[in-house]
Amino acid sequence: MLVSIDEGNRQPIYLQIVRQVKEQILVGELCEGDELPSVRELGDALGISLHTARSAYQVLSETGLVRVRLGKKARVAIPACEGGRDSLGDEYALRMRELIVDGLLQGANGESLHKALDQEIDALSARGAALGIRTSGKEEA
C-alpha cells in the first residue's frame, strides 16, 4: 500500500488515506486478504498521529472494505458486489449530493461538475478494465 499526503489539500488527512486505499482496491493494487500496515506503521510512515491513521481505518472498516481486528493488522475485505447492498444507493447519493453542493458553493456550474464527474468515472473505469475488473453491473450499450 502506497499512500501519500498532500499538505496543500483541504481534505482531512484521514480522508486522503481513505480515498487512496479505495482507489488501490478498485484498480487491483490491493486485493482481498492483503494486509495493511498497522496503525502505528502507517502513522510513522506518513508522519501523522495514531488517531488520524486509526480514523482512516475506521472509515474503511465502516464501508466494509477493510476488516480491522484488535491486535491484528487490518486486511482488505472487499464486500460482495452482487445483491444485499441496495441500501448503499442512498448513502452514495447523499455523498454525491454533498460533493455537488461543495462544488456549486465554490463557483462551479452544472456543466463543469458533469464534465469532472464523467472524466473521473472514465479514468477509474479504464484503470479497472485494464486490470480485468468489472466496474459496473450493467453491460455497455
Q: Would you kindly state where each structural domain of the chain is located, as residue ranges?
A: 1-79, 82-135
Q: Please tell me the class of the 1-79 domain.
A: mainly alpha
Distance from C-alpha of 69 to C-alpha of 38, rounded to nearest angstrom:
11
pLDDT at 76: 94
pLDDT at 80: 39
Distance from C-alpha of 43 to C-alpha of 99, rounded to nearest angstrom:
28
Report pLDDT digits (tens) over 35-70. 999 999 999 999 999 999 999 999 999 988 999 988
